[in-house]
Amino acid sequence: MIGEHAPTPLKGLLRGLRRRCGRCGEPGIFDSWFSLKERCPRCGYLFVREEGAFAGVYLLNFAVTEAFVFAVLMSYVLWRGISGTHAPIWPFVAACGAFAVVAPIAFYPFATSTWAAIDLLMRPLDPDEELDAAQHARVNE
């Protein structure tokens, strides 16, 4: 039973990116857009295994937002440098500002499930956690 749900690193990460449990692939891990269930309803995996474990969610959200803003602004600089036009920057800045507000909200559940999968990959369940998950999985069946 131990290690039964251990996914390959790529499979676990892809599950997280699709808002699924990184351990078993169960899709119903959210109560609402901003509320991750305490445990996976299928395998019993405890998503938040320690205090502050989900600081990585904010890191992922910040990284995605900043990468997009950087890419848009650098494409403006490159376009202006190559073409030599004096196009105004304000439409690009306005688009980046709007994205910086909307993206963290839209990407939050994906960042949450992805971070849960990354946490599982970085720190596989120990035997006690495996047993705890198995007991909670049985309760839900």
> Which residue, among 44, 51, 47, 56, has the nearest Cα to 19 in the 3D structure?
47
pTM score, whole prediction: 0.83
Is 107 inside any structural domain? yes
> Which residue, among 7, 8, 36, has the nearest Cα to 110 in the 3D structure?
36
Specify which residues 39 forms β-bridges with: 46
Is 25 inside any structural domain? yes
Is 2 inside any structural domain? no
Report CA 11 to chain centroid distance, whole Å.
14
Is 119 inside any structural domain? yes
Specify which residues 32 forms β-bridges with: 35
Is 133 inside any structural domain? yes
pLDDT of 138 higher than 70 = no
Each residue of 23-68: pLDDT tens digit?
999 999 999 999 999 999 999 999 998 888 889 999 999 999 999 9
Q: How many domains does the chain have?
A: 1
DSSP string computed for 39-50: B-TTT--BS--S
Specify which residues 46 forms β-bridges with: 39
Specify which residues 71 forms β-bridges with: none
> Cα–Cα distance between 60 and 12 in angstroms, integer?
16
Residue 137's pLDDT is 84
Distances (CA, A) of 8 to 23, 57, 117: 9, 21, 11
Query: Is residue 7 very low, low, confident or very high in pLDDT (cuts 50, 70, 90)?
Result: confident
Is 123 inside any structural domain? yes
* Domain span holding position 67: 9-140
